[in-house]
């Protein structure tokens, strides 16, 4: 077994996994950092199991796959109703325990000059809330709504979350 790295040095060897729009990733590799960029009306959901270090990040665009069932078959993470169950199945696959997990939700903004006639951001938030309620879950941290975009990351080794907005970068931690 290789010797432990001094504190902070491990981040030099971190592997950044970029989660695109309508995609998701899970990992329990302590060298991984999961990141998604430019959450506007989309929702970013981070799940983190502090015991096993299992982490998941979903970036979904739309609340309901019924508008494009064919797209939902090829890209289920694009929609809340297909992406959320898919991410939780994958999270279990890397030894994440949903009942022990901590959750952070970001996005759901109305970035089009503060107006969104289709209310996509609002509907995306409602879809997540309904899924969580139906499954007895609740987010530990959240930053949703508003009019600005967000970029979020989680360090798998520590569960530390970073959120970048036009106003700066915040470091968040589950308590």
> Is 32 inside a domain boundary?
yes
> Is 37 inside a domain boundary?
yes
Is residue 75 within 8 A of residue 83, CB to CB? The reply is no
For the chain, how many residues are written? 175
> Is 5 inside a domain boundary?
no
Structure tokens at 33: 């950092």
**pLDDT for the residue 11:** 52
> Is 75 inside a domain boundary?
yes
> Is 144 inside a domain boundary?
yes
> Is 8 inside a domain boundary?
no
Q: What is the DSSP letter of 62?
A: B
Is residue 88 within 8 A of residue 46, CB to CB? The reply is no
Which residue shows structure tokens 């290789």?
2
Residue 33 to residue 47: CA distance in whole angstroms: 13
Question: 158 is in which domain, residue-wise?
Answer: 15-172
Q: What is the DSSP letter of 78?
A: G
> Is 112 inside a domain boundary?
yes
Full-prediction pTM beyond 0.85? yes
Per-residue confidence of the chain (175 residues) as pLDDT tens digits? Answer: 444 445 554 455 679 999 999 999 999 999 999 999 999 999 999 999 999 999 999 999 999 999 999 999 999 999 999 999 999 999 999 999 999 999 999 999 997 765 667 899 999 999 999 999 999 999 999 999 999 999 999 999 999 999 999 999 999 998 7
Q: What is the domain-level CATH number for residue 24?
A: 3.30.1330.200
> Is 2 inside a domain boundary?
no
- The count of structural domains within the chain is 1
Three-state DSSP class for residue 68? coil
């Amino acid at each position: 077994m290789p010797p432990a790295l001094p504190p902070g040095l491990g981040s030099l060897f971190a592997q950044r996994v970029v989660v695109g729009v309508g995609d998701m990733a899970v990992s329990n590799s302590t060298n991984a950092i999961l990141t998604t960029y430019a959450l506007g009306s989309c929702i970013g959901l981070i799940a983190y199991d502090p015991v096993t270090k299992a982490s998941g990040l979903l970036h979904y665009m739309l609340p309901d796959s019924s508008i494009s069932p064919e797209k939902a078959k090829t890209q289920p993470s694009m929609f809340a109703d297909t992406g959320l169950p898919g991410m939780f199945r994958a999270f279990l696959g890397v030894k994440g325990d949903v009942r022990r997990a901590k959750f952070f939700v970001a996005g759901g903004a109305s970035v089009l000059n503060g107006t969104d006639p289709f209310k996509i951001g609002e509907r995306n938030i409602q879809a997540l809330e309904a899924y969580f309620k139906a499954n007895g879950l609740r987010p530990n941290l959240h930053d949703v709504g508003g009019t600005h975009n967000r970029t979020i990351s989680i360090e798998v080794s520590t569960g530390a979350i970073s959120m970048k907005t036009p106003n700066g970068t915040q470091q968040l931690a589950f308590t």
